[in-house]
Amino acid sequence: MGRIMSCVAWASALFVLGCTREVPAAPQTPAVDAVVGRYSIATVNGQVLPLQIGAEGSMAIDALGGKLDLDTSATFVNVVTYRTRGPGGIQVYTDTVSGHFFHYQNTLLLQPDDGSTPFFLDITDAKTLTSWDFTVVVYRK
């Protein structure tokens, strides 16, 4: 009986290996995707920009604008322009994060190349992406 079961297991393994060659491999390059394009920050927590997003002591931080570019090679660039206001004056700077994105159903996972925390975007409609990670950020094409 043990010998028969061993032969059945061996035959099953050969069958699986034989069939595996018939299954086409997934494409290595991402297909052109409906989410590809340039998006601008429309609102943060329901408010339009510019918007004060933080304060510490006599220093305030404002978000002035931002854009998210998603391209056909499944890479992204997210640029946000900030302004600090305080006793030392006003300074404007940009924060740029780039990396790769993965699209699954109505969700995008953006994985920064610098190793920072990945973040998710919901595909709200054909022209809108929404981030819920820390604050509600709505991007529009």
pLDDT tens, position by position, 80-122: 999 999 999 999 999 999 999 999 989 999 999 999 999 999 9
Position 95 in a domain: yes
Q: What is the largest CA-CA distance in the chain?
A: 86
CB atoms within 10 A of CB 107: 12
- Rounded percentage of the chain residues whose pLDDT exceeds 90: 70
Position 75 in a domain: yes
d(CA 83, CA 141): 24
Domain that holds residue 37: 29-140
Structural domains counted in the chain: 1
Residue 134's pLDDT band (boundaries 50, 70, 90)? confident
Position 68 in a domain: yes
Position 101 in a domain: yes
Residue 72 has pLDDT above 80, yes or no: yes
Position 19 in a domain: no
Position 107 in a domain: yes
Position 11 in a domain: no
What's the pTM value of the predicted model, to 2 decimals?
A: 0.73
CATH for 81: 2.40.128.300
Position 4 in a domain: no
> If you search the block for the tokens 């061993």, which residue do you land on?
6
